[in-house]
Structure 1
């Protein structure tokens, strides 16, 4: 920053322009973190415009979680090499925070969209839609009744979500395999899944195609009761199973007080329906 005439400014003026509270500036002076350029005989503190650069760095590092002591030590020993190393390290911190915030926003948007969609759902109707391919994170393969899922699967999937920097409570669903659907069995779980783009695991997808969509009110362990109705509907309309079924709760414990009132959406991947 260029040197200007009458460069000194009062603590009040510096506080206003830097948006750092006056009390904070006094505290920083007292602990030796950031001192004024000049202190008058009457004790008034004065700062220079060039000090905006330093207070800006202090603000950024503090926002990124550095302690005031670590910032003070850095400022006392700063050099091009140490500054470069610290900036690269903080760059990684920022990237991680961006990744976490991106997924937090995605979770919020996904939940909001699900709730908004659920407000107009008629659980007595079934529809066929064309679904674009959607990226997802998938658990390891299992073949277990939804009532007997082991804790190891749940814990492992939560660890996978954490590795992807997904926030706690990220929406998760269940996949019913094609082979079980062909046997008219809606109870056996093949995978847990969440809709997200992965960075640390193999990227899986919900395939593009046609899906028979059904809804029902049920607790987490009771969704299999909708499958007999789905199989009957598919037989009546001559729909053919092409792939897996994806279960996703649009209204869960975040929205509803009573588990029996949760709303689940089941999407069965089917062959393209014959045109009538």
Structure 2
């Protein structure tokens, strides 16, 4: 049987792979034929079939063709053990990534359903757990393309670093400035990245404490005055003061809305007596 030759068409039909794939493997040096005739016809024996069996099986482990070729050419039990251990590590990593993505997906669904029902233009007062933010300094002097680049770069880096998640850019305002009425004097671009962020950016923790929160529709600059009046009145009546940075964040933005006037956002203000 080892002296019986098969054509590339035979191999293609038996193993259910295209002739182009077989030729590609040959070009890489991964699957050379037993012989090539002067007319270019390629022939394969049982030995080549054994080699192809190894290749096709190891591909199911998401191994690179380079690693598969290295194994096929130098194979042995210890090398197979190492290769399979590496594949197991890759699967463990993939499983962890899938779990993380699913967790974020569930959280996104929960928040989407919640924010579809949330009352708007009302102040909520209560305890909030700590949150974790990445900040980029906001420079009011930046204009045009430079300002756009700062905004987009804040976003783009996070898209590479975080699992599935709507990376939403908000604005932060220094609490003292906001309390004095500087209601659009932004200090930073901000994004809530969650507790499991493992990127390279510095994390700022918004501490656990008492907060005022209000949801509103439309652009912040158009709503800022009446929101400030509502917040100031509440603080004065309750004898409270602002205790840290104010965060203005989109809840529903271009992910779900085509008109910016339909955006749903929230303003979150830490307070203390």
The residue aligned with 1:253 is 254
Determine the structure 2 residue equivalent to 1:122. Answer: 119
Cross-structure match for 2:235: 234
Q: Offset at 1:202?
A: 2.1
Deviation at 1:92, TM superposition (A): 9.0
Shift of 1:229: 2.5
Determine the C-alpha separation between the residues in 2 that align with 1:94 and 1:157: 31
TM-score, normalised via structure 2 length = 0.66
Match of 1:17 in 2: none
Please give the per-residue CA displacement for 1:1-28, whole angstroms capped at 9, x wherever unaligned: xxxxxxxxxxxxxxxxxxxx95139887
User: For structure 2, which runs of at least 5 residues remain unmatched after alignment?
Assistant: 1-13, 33-43
**Which ranges in structure 1 are unaligned for 5 or more consecutive residues?**
1-20, 36-42
Cα 1:180–1:138 change in 2 (3 A) is same
- 1:161 corresponds to which of 149, 158, 162: 158
Residues 184 and 221 of structure 1: CA distance in aligned 2, closer, same or farther (over 3 Å): closer
Alignment of 1:84-95 (within 5 A): none
Compared with structure 1, are the counterparts of its residues 252 and 243 closer, same or farther at alpha carbon in structure 2 (3 Å cutoff)? same
| Residue 47 to residue 143, structure 1, CA distance change in 2 (3 Å) | closer
TM-score for both structures, normalised by structure 1: 0.65
**1:144 to 2:140 alignment:** yes
Q: 1:55-74 CA deviation, whole Å, 9 max, x = no partner?
A: 44222235xxx4x5x46633
Superposition deviation, residue 120 in structure 1? 2.0
For this pair of structures, how many residues does the alignment match?
239
**TM-aligned CA distance change 1:145 to 1:258, over 3 Å:** farther
Q: 1:201 to 1:238 in 2, by over 3 A?
A: same
Contact 2:162 / 2:199 at 8 angstroms: preserved in 1?
A: no
User: SS of the residue aligned with 1:122?
Assistant: coil
Shift of 1:210: 0.5
